[in-house]
A and B are shown apart, each in its own frame.
Chain A
Amino acid sequence: MATTHTRSAARLMMAPSVILLFAWMIVPLAMTIYFSLLRYNLLMPGTEEFAGIMNYQFFLTDPAFFDALSNTLILVGGVLAITIIGGIAFALLLDQPIFGQGIVRILVIAPFFVMPTVSALVWKNMFMNPVNGLFGWLARAMGFQPIDFLASVPLLSVIIIVSWQWLPFATLIMLTALQSLDEEQKEAAEMDGAGFVSRFIYIVLPHMARAITVVILIETIFLLSVFAEILVTTNGGPGTQSTNLTYLVYAQALLQFDIGGASAGGIVAVVLANIVAIFLVRLIGKNLEG
């Protein structure tokens, strides 16, 4: 198969993808690093000057940064916890013999295809709005004071919305993994006297390890950059209560026009994402080998 002729052709065929992706990775990154070392505000054109690490000092000591950092971690962790546990539970349920399994599957998967701005707006207005939202009506109908979700528990509200979007994804992947588990293996375990719980712990869960790893990897990639859901619901507020790193950098750049400061924030976000990514690539590399 591998003759010298095909090998050089292969290199030529890979070149466009590799070069484009390399450029996409390196050019903006280099520019962002450069901007992060400048005093650069779009409202004051022509005043750019070298500022050293000043932007980093400001960004890293800004209390908003710590809020954003912890909000990011809570958001990612919270959604991961909800979707993985929920996903496994749903998958186990859907793997049972039930009537109309295909239709239930379609119902459960649907939210994944809803664009983030739509799901955020629908939840915000039609469910979480204390006056006209369904939750408000439900609360009143049961005699409670309705909660103003976005004002009093903004981060939790965002977590709920994002989890609703990602639960289907986790469920679908867990279900696919579950269905590829050899039925005879389960039966063998049953013959060996394993009950439902031990079967789950010793047979099912190890079999799903790979799927769980993949869900963590993919969701983390996307969840670190949650943006639209925050933009159309809370705008990061009240205060910075629902601002994550992505939103913070956006606000600094396109709302306050502070290019230098925002670039420093962008670099911090890249560094943090890389720390997570290195960890994840190791994890997934190990799990995907076989």
Chain B
Amino acid sequence: MGSITLRNVSKVFGEAKVIPSIDLDINDGEFVVFVGPSGCGKSTLLRLIAGLEDVSGGDIIIDGQNATDAAPAKRGLAMVFQSYALYPHMSVRSNIAFPLKMAGIDKAEIDRKVADAARVLNLTDYLERKPRQLSGGQRQRVAIGRAIVRQPSAFLFDEPLSNLDAALRVNMRLEISELHQQLKTTMIYVTHDQVEAMTMADKIVVLNRGNIEQVGSPLDLYRKPANLFVAGFIGSPRMNLITGAYAEAKGGKTVGIRPEHIGLSKDAGTWEGTVTVAEHLGSDTFMHVDVPGVGLLAARAGGEFGVRHGDRVYLTPDESKLHRFDDKGLAL
């Protein structure tokens, strides 16, 4: 079991209201990602759930029990930290065994559980090493192993991949997703990277300045962003946001169109513009096109679309994929 409910949860640091008030339901077995720009309160929210910070107001309910004042260890949660927070003086085995030892479990049982976790995480050959003798990815796996052995009701991940290089990050992303498939335990994952959020989450919680902007599945957020903030944050490259005459003609203060929903042609189209930058990625070509009267638009074309700086191109938005926003920035 691992359902978590936040009711009116707030956090104040001195004068600063980091989190004004948040309500959120996390169901058992869900993979929930908190995403948002740095300083949006996502890590604070995670630490409130973990019990590493006291809430200033509201309740945290874990598995139907009010856990607001419970000590971190009594909440049945396990956390993987950004810096991994491995105990540097202990071997991998002792690191993974530590929470079990603290729980007073007998030696044989501990050995068995550690061996299981090590097998799942491919750490069997490294059990006697110290953390400093491991690579970044291996350390990450030890941190996860230390979390797994406790069989927590939920896992908390605090930007766990931000210290890894790009290639390893993609791998670990897959491994964590697979782990979730295997364990079917609730996971709450904090990141500022919307790609991680999109690829891993069952449910994304977009945070901004301590408030929830939108909650939904990745495709919900992609298809129907509730407001300009979510529209701009989810999706890569970012959605084009157009104001002025064109927007008003389409019935909004602002309209948004994703780069992948703009058709490109060298001959004819709705808008005519000049390519300022073309990025050839092989599989795709990303272009920044200066369209007089509309602005600088990002557009995506196939890899073979041969254009260069200064070329003239025609753009045609797919109007069925247009997003319309009112003057408060809310979706219409």
Contacts and interface: CB of A to CB of B under 8 A. Distances in A.
Interface of A: 1-5
B24 interface: no
Contacts of A3: 51-54
A230 B54 CA distance: 58
B125 to A, nearest CB: 35
Nearest to A2: B53
Contacts of B51: 3
Interface of B: 51-54, 71
Nearest to A1: B52
Nearest to B71: A5
Main secondary structure of the interface of B (DSSP, over half): loop
B52 A4 contact: no
Nearest to A3: B54
Contacts of A1: 52-53
B11 to A, nearest CB: 12
A4 B53 contact: no
Contacts of B71: 5
A5 to B, nearest CB: 8
Main secondary structure of the interface of A (DSSP, over half): loop
A3 B51 CA distance: 9
Contacts of B54: 3-4
B72 to A, nearest CB: 9
Given A1-B53, A3-B54, 7 more contacts: A1-B52, A2-B53, A3-B51, A3-B52, A3-B53, A4-B54, A5-B71
A1 B54 CA distance: 9
A4 B53 CA distance: 9
A5 B70 CA distance: 11
Contacts of B53: 1-3
A2 B53 CA distance: 7
Top 7 nearest A-B pairs by Cβ distance?
A3-B54, A1-B52, A4-B54, A3-B53, A1-B53, A2-B53, A3-B52
B109 to A, nearest CB: 30
Nearest to B13: A2
Contacts of A2: 53
Nearest to A4: B54
| Residue in A1, A2, A3 whose Cβ sees the most chain B Cβ within 10 Å | A3
A4 B51 CA distance: 12
B246 to A, nearest CB: 49
Contacts of B52: 1, 3
A7 to B, nearest CB: 10
Contacts of A4: 54
B53 to A, nearest CB: 7
A4 B52 CA distance: 11
A1 to B, nearest CB: 6
A80 to B, nearest CB: 41
A17 B5 CA distance: 44
A5 B72 CA distance: 12
A254 to B, nearest CB: 50
A4 B55 CA distance: 11
Nearest to B51: A3
Contacts of A5: 71
Nearest to B52: A1
B57 to A, nearest CB: 15
